[in-house]
Amino acid sequence: MPKAFATIEHSQSYYAFYDELLAHVRAGFDEVQSGVQGDAWIWIFRDGEKVAVDTFYSMQFEINSDAESALLRDVIAHIGQKYPVRHYDEPREF
C-alpha cells in the first residue's frame, strides 16, 4: 500500500502546475510516465523501484512510495531543488 512521504507546496491549481512539474521531473530522471485523468500523476522508475507524484489523495501533489528508498530520497531532493517540499513526520497511509 503506498504511503505519502511529502507534499509539494504550490499556489497554482494542480492542473496548471502539472506541466512545469513534469518538465522538472523529466530533467532529473530517465524513466518517467505521466498523465492527467481527473487527477494528475507522474511515476518515476529506477532499478525496479517506483515513486509516484500525484494528486489522487490531495489537491496538492504528494510524493508517494510503497517504502522509503534511494529513489524516493532522490525524487524528494530533486523536486526540493526547485519547489518547497513539506515532509510528513510520519508517512500518511492511504
State the amino acid at position 2 in one-letter form: P
CB-CB contact of 83 with 31 (8 Å)? no
CA 28 to chain centre: 13
Q: What is the pLDDT of residue 2?
A: 83
Answer with the residue of higher pLDDT: 94 or 91. 91
Name the one residue in this structure whose C-alpha cell is 487527477.
39
Q: What is the pLDDT of residue 72?
A: 97
CB-CB contact of 54 with 17 (8 Å)? no
Q: What is the pLDDT of residue 89?
A: 85
Binned at pLDDT 50, 70 and 90, residue 93 comes out as confident
Q: Which three cell numbers stand for residue 17?
A: 502546475
Q: Does pTM top 0.85 for this prediction?
A: yes
With 80 as the cut, is the pLDDT of residue 94 above it? no
